[in-house]
Structure 1
Amino acid sequence: MVEKSGRPGYLQIADDLRTQIRTGSLAPGAALPSTAQLGQRYDVSASVVKAAISVLRTEGLIVGQQGKGVFVREGAAESLQEPASSDVMDQLSQMRSTLETLGERIADLEKAVFQERKRSR
């Protein structure tokens, strides 16, 4: 499963597990396969699997229970839902407008500064 794409294997595994959580293949409360099972599935070492698990734990998608395993956290799928595209487009539009305004202000400042230098010579 892990491809030689230049993207680290542990991130590819984390991406795949994240997708399974988002789609419900790994439901809230479900146990993840063991480190050994994941290592076999992705054809990687245990340390690569542990790094992927660490990423998901840091993101708050999974929780470990000592002696029991690693489980999908309740509400994990909801936290992965992507914002509505219209919201994203609105935010991008606002950012573009702000950048345009800043660009105009910088141009005005540069004109003022360079005119001052010409006068002082």
Structure 2
Amino acid sequence: MVEKSGRPAYLQIVDELSKQIRAGSLAPGTALPSIAQLCQRFDVSASVVKAAISVLRTQGLVVGQQGKGVFVSETPAVPAEPQSSGEADEILEQLAQMRQGLKDLGDRLAALESAVFPGRK
């Protein structure tokens, strides 16, 4: 059953099923329970379960086979390799430049608004 924690129900289901897949409780090639079974298990609607399965597909953890069901992927998605510190530094520098550019645009917009609408804050 999903908790009323503020976290969307479909993400709670994703968390639970991906935890089972990574732990090996749901082995590669194993069929997931049917949508109806998952609805009953988590006490949610079919659309919530379908949204969770869609996320799992996007993550590469499950694959669907038309007319047969949804199965745990034989080759789970490989996590992205960590970036080198040089790449990370370059990305951080680009972000800093973007932030400064946005600040400059905000300042220019404020100046323009005060010129067009004098006396208005």
Q: TM-score, normalised by structure 2?
A: 0.65
Query: 1:47, 1:19 → 2: CA distance?
Result: 21
> What letter matches 2:64 in structure 1?
G
Residue type of the alignment partner of 1:58: T
Aligned mates of 2:32, 2:78 — CA distance in 1: 18
Aligned length: 95
Q: Give the distance between the partners of 1:3 and 1:79, measured in 2 at CA.
A: 30
| Aligned residue number for residue 75 of structure 2 | 75
Detail structure 1 runs of 4+ shifted over 2 Å in the superposition.
Answer: none
Scaled by the length of structure 1, what TM-score is found? 0.65
Counterpart Cα distance in 2 of 1:63 and 1:19: 17
Q: Which has the higher contact order (CA 8 A, sep 6+)?
A: 1
- The percentage of counterpart residues that share the same residue type is 73
Counterpart CA distance in 1 for 2:54 and 2:29 is: 18
Distance in 2 separating the partners of 1:6 and 1:58 = 23
Alignment partners' CA distance in 2, 1:46 and 1:28: 24
**How far apart, in 1, do the equivalents of 2:33 and 2:27 lie?**
13
Residue of structure 1 equivalent to 2:114: none
- Could you list the runs of 5+ residues in structure 2 that have no partner in the other structure? 93-121
Note the 1:50-65 alignment, pairs <5 A: 50-65=50-65
CA distance in structure 2 between the partners assigned to 1:51 and 1:68 by the alignment: 18
What SS does the corresponding residue of 2:36 show, helix, strand or coil?
Answer: helix
Report the alpha carbon displacement of residue 75 of structure 1 after superposing the two structures with TM: 2.4
1:29 aligns with 2:35: no
Distance of 2:36 and 2:57 partners within structure 1: 18
Matches within 5 A, 1:1-121: 1-76=1-76, 79=78
- 5+ unaligned residues in a row in structure 1: which ranges? 100-121
